[in-house]
Structure 1
């Protein structure tokens, strides 16, 4: 009976959004919260294999231990070379005296850091390139400095290297920040989250070659479409409707827009109500120019229910 009770507590903890709420409710949950296997399972369930290690480090020395890292390894957390590069770059870094310990990896215990490095060397066959930066390499390979219509040829010239970066070195971007900071974002960010600029460049790569998400899914990053969904769909429309159109710009037909949307949907992206609403709001001031094409492309994909959604926003 006691083992069943402990197993039930383990399951409840696993599905809890914020475990601190359980600790405040009942002090008996404290021992459950201290168990490294319980913590590892909670991280994996809440954040997935791709981002469990990032959040374990983010939560700091009061949460992560060598045993928690071992629990994540046993559950298949993904060791990305980019994760290790950022970890080495920010481990133990103390920022300004007014904001102590705010670097993402500042509070990581040495024993946990050592365990992470040892496992990364094993999983990546010793090639962790600690002085490199796979985000910058990805941006170079995907021609991020060029306009998107000029980037495609270079992107496909480098496709084998892009595939290798993801499949062999498990390149996975860090999670994007839940809220955009009002101030200028530095890179790398002190809180660890991926900056808005990097996320936009990743979404641009998806728009050039939607099948790139299949590489990420192949290594276990199944949440990639969920993580990038809104920014990719809105980015698609921004490529068709640039804020400053060139002289030879021609308004795309609903069929062209729908075909591109279907291409994205086929690899896992979703044209849900929230995306439709945010897209309409984004282009609200220009809706007299491109509104009909956008609405009709939505209707091709989702049916007539789109009309009521758009009317509620424009009214």
Structure 2
């Protein structure tokens, strides 16, 4: 008997196992270069499609396939993605048309030379500019076929959603107007698969020419953004529509956009709190009770949103000038909603993040009043940050303090120079 078919069967099983391993690796580059076998697996279009869907979900897989560049995406990868049922929205096709194609470099050079129209530092390749023509045509044709409707290629579903969700109107008038447009909104989501592009990764821009704890303000947003990620202004609009009409989340999940809660989580929770505690209250505004706030947030949490540590710290920061007025209400809400999870360590770790660039002690002082063992929690957090720093590549890190100078000053002022925690901080300062 010929053993070859049996060998091929086991080879197939081995490849399938490797693909299943590969698709769960967040950053598979090192795995791909480890040997020829893994290199071949990493180049396989089926593997790429599986990894994209596992990593980013069916709603954002097409976006990231283009984002990863022409060496990653081709028509075979596109075919595998469509076979696996990725979501292609009309908005995706519209954005693809906006940003496909390369700039005329010679024209740009002449414009710069004659000081016309463009600044050198603003020249960036748009998100889909390097997509190959065959892949572009495949996405365009198959996307339009999958939508099974005539696609207004010059349209903009983000702007359409803006008007349908009463974006131009004040929040008090928006609910009624959204209800009138609900049929059109449902069509936009359910039939045209309207899905915003993913938000920018959570990161803070640091000015490396100065102290690394000083934030550099991001440049004004452009549309469409060159990097492809959705503008924050648009994500705020999406979040606003959700906390006016939470039913939208159900619609998006119905078409497979399960990442909606993660994409706009912070904006939705903070937006809900802003509505409950407006920055400029009207004369007839009444401060909501703990029960009312918990009820509103629980409605959102039941949809999949989360009162996470970073949202809590952002909320306390947002209301920093009103903590004397509403701080106890907020804290009671936080403790009730997060009663099943430890709070102290996570909140102190979040507030001590160097990229938060603390410029005052109000958050640390507020948390200190809420936890009797605050020094012990601070010590645990500082120890963990120091340990993580030692594990990281010290050679590649620019010499700087591990934590913000403001944190070290707070620790010295609060716990004294003989505290074990203070001595730990001195070790970093004097290193």
Q: Secondary structure at the match of 1:149?
A: coil
Cα distance, 1:148 vs. partner?
A: 1.3
Cα distance, 1:93 vs. partner?
A: 4.1
Q: Distance in 2 between matches of 1:308 and 1:104?
A: 41
Q: Distance in 2 between matches of 1:100 and 1:111?
A: 25
Q: Structure 1 residues 109, 310: CA separation in 2 closer, same or farther (over 3 Å shift)?
A: closer
Q: Distance in 2 between matches of 1:249 and 1:289?
A: 14
Q: Of 1, 4, 25, which aligns to 2:13?
A: 4
Q: Of 309, 315, 323, which aligns to 1:287?
A: 323
Aligned residue-pair number: 315
Q: Distance in 1 between matches of 2:43 and 2:124?
A: 23
Q: Of 163, 169, 179, which aligns to 1:156?
A: 179
Q: Structure 1 residues 277, 100: CA separation in 2 closer, same or farther (over 3 Å shift)?
A: closer
Partner of 1:278 in structure 2?
A: 314
Partner of 1:85 in structure 2?
A: 94
Question: Bigger relative contact order, structure 1 or 2, given CA contacts below 8 A and separation 6+?
Answer: 1
Q: Structure 1 residues 247, 216: CA separation in 2 closer, same or farther (over 3 Å shift)?
A: same
TM-score, normalised relative to structure 1: 0.92
Q: Structure 1 residues 120, 3: CA separation in 2 closer, same or farther (over 3 Å shift)?
A: closer
Cα distance, 1:17 vs. partner?
A: 1.0
Q: Of 278, 292, 296, which aligns to 2:332?
A: 296
1:262-292 C-alpha deviation (Å, 9 max, x unpaired): 2112222122333323322332332111112
Q: Secondary structure at the match of 1:147?
A: coil
Q: Of 265, 282, 295, which aligns to 1:229?
A: 265
Structure 1 residues without counterparts, runs of 5 or longer? none
* Structure 2 residue 329 is the aligned partner of structure 1 residue 264: no
Partner of 1:111 in structure 2?
A: 134
Q: Distance in 2 between matches of 1:117 and 1:266?
A: 37
Residue range with higher mean Cα deviation, 238-247 or 300-309: 300-309
Q: Structure 1 residues 224, 6: CA separation in 2 closer, same or farther (over 3 Å shift)?
A: same
Residue range with higher mean Cα deviation, 243-252 or 104-113: 243-252
Residue range with higher mean Cα deviation, 171-180 or 107-116: 171-180
Q: Of 117, 120, 137, which aligns to 2:143?
A: 120
Q: Distance in 2 between matches of 1:20 and 1:223?
A: 25
1:149-186 C-alpha deviation (Å, 9 max, x unpaired): 22111111111111110001000000011147710010
Partner of 1:166 in structure 2?
A: 189
1:175-219 C-alpha deviation (Å, 9 max, x unpaired): 011147710010110111001110111000001011110000000
Q: Is the 8 A contact 1:174 1:193 kept in 2?
A: yes
Q: Distance in 2 between matches of 1:60 and 1:105?
A: 8
* Structure 2 residue 211 is the aligned partner of structure 1 residue 201: no
Partner of 1:143 in structure 2?
A: 166
Q: Is the 8 A contact 1:277 1:310 kept in 2?
A: no
TM-score, normalised relative to structure 2: 0.68
Structure label with greater radius of gyration? 2
Q: Distance in 2 between matches of 1:84 and 1:307?
A: 43
Q: Distance in 2 between matches of 1:4 and 1:267?
A: 39
Q: Distance in 1 between matches of 2:95 and 2:291?
A: 43
